[in-house]
Amino acid sequence: MASIVLGIADSARLFGEGAQHSTEPLMTIVDAHERVVSPFDYAVTRGDGIFEATTVWHGTPISLQAHLRRLAHSAALMELPKPNVAEFSRAVDEMIAHYDDPEPGPILRILVSRGLDAETGIGRASDGLPHVWMFLDAQGALHDTDPITLTALNRGYSSDITSRAPWLLNGAKTLSYAVNMAMHRECDRRHVDDAVTTTEDGFVLECPNSSIVAQYGNRLVTPNPNIGILHGTSQRELFSFNQQEGGSWEYATLPFARLLEADHVFMTHGGWVIPVASIDDTKFVVNPDFVQRANDAIHSGRTQEEALQIQPDEGMF
């Protein structure tokens, strides 16, 4: 039984344009306990890489194309080689073929590092290629849809920082998540489940590893990614669901005070919509029926194609 599948990519074939015309496997599957990363790897020395994560639901990776397009967007912001989305998709399929645990919704994680650290002797002697590892995991934290409590945490940036300081990498999903982890420890200290981050000038950003969506009547609103946040994959699936149900959606520069006035609030990530019960002292009504139907729609694949078309006016990816 492989309930945790670990794979090392033939990474030369996962970057660049053009089909490789090879039927050789892209992923080498190894025992999940194997230590396959060099301590001289940029992932270890500098957190210098990018990642994506989603749920594989009954064998289908949710929003995979959106995740891989976002991976390519992160790679561009990080000046990494361009991921070949078709080859990454094929690699994910290979991973899934090795999974045979009864759990219907393991987590798929795709990790990309810049390769071996060129400031080290081991890195200098290397081929300089990025490294890619993937795992499918049924034994780690899996999603549930119980209502969660949030606290607001200041991200320390103003809402216009991204255009002024692109080297801050806002909008790239990097392996440098120490701050995101520290935010979760602050949540523990405040006895809440998760956080929503805000700008110095009072606008809503995102959650440390998810997106935030506010509902007003039958309209869904999420912060515009151009504020320097990730473009949510499950958020787009939820927008697609709401559109199919006759509702509407909007990307906005969302004041935090306005978020607190929402009829309902949702956290979205990894193929799941999770209802928010409170943000600090503000309580929200939970609508479990809407949440259930949204998750069922997303997991059925019904929203996926449309979700890929949903984006802010100025375009994204």
Reported as half-sphere exposure (CB side, CA atoms, 13 A), residue 202 has a value of: 4
Query: 3-class DSSP state for residue 174?
Result: strand
Residue numbers of the site for a copy of itself (CB under 8 A)? Answer: 3-4, 6, 32-49, 51, 78-79, 109, 111, 113-114, 117, 119-125, 133, 135, 137-141, 153-158, 161, 164-169, 172, 174-183, 185-186, 200
User: Between residues 151 and 240, which has the closer beta carbon with respect to a copy of itself?
Assistant: 151
Residue 36 structure tokens: 């396959």
Q: How far is the CB of 79 from a copy of itself (least distance, A)?
A: 6
The owner of tokens 């479990």 is 288
The radius of gyration of the chain's CA atoms, rounded to the nearest angstrom, is 19
- DSSP assignment of 71-122: HHHHHHHTTPPPB-HHHHHHHHHHHHHT---S-S-PEEEEEEE--B-TTSHH
3-state secondary structure of 185: helix
Amino acid identity of 197? Answer: T
* Closer by beta carbon to a copy of itself, 169 or else 316: 169
Largest CA distance in the chain: 59
Nearest approach, Cβ of residue 137 and a copy of itself (Å): 5
**Least separation in angstroms between CB 278 and a copy of itself:** 20
Closest CB to a copy of itself among residues 109, 293: 109
By DSSP bridging, strand 194-198 and strand 148-154 are parallel
Residue 153 Cβ vs a copy of itself, minimum distance, rounded to whole Å: 6
In angstroms, give the least distance from the CB of 274 to a copy of itself: 16
| Residue 188 three-state SS | helix
Q: How far is the CB of 295 from a copy of itself (least distance, A)?
A: 20
Question: Of the two residues 103 and 146, which places its CB atom closer to a copy of itself in the complex?
Answer: 103
Quick check: helix, strand or coil at residue 295?
helix
- Sequential DSSP letters for 13-34: GGBSSS-----S-SEEEE-TT-
Cβ-based nearer residue to a copy of itself, 125 or 313 = 125
Sign of the dihedral defined by the CA atoms of residues 136, 316, 209, 117, in that order: positive
Q: Which is nearer to a copy of itself, 92 or 221 (CB)?
A: 92
Q: How far is the CB of 184 from a copy of itself (least distance, A)?
A: 9
CA distance 288 to 198: 26
Nearer to a copy of itself, 100 or 200 (CB): 200
Q: Is 164 left (phi over 0), alpha (psi -120 to 50) or beta?
A: alpha
* C-beta closer to a copy of itself: residue 93 or 160: 160
- Least distance between a copy of itself and beta carbon 19 (Å): 27
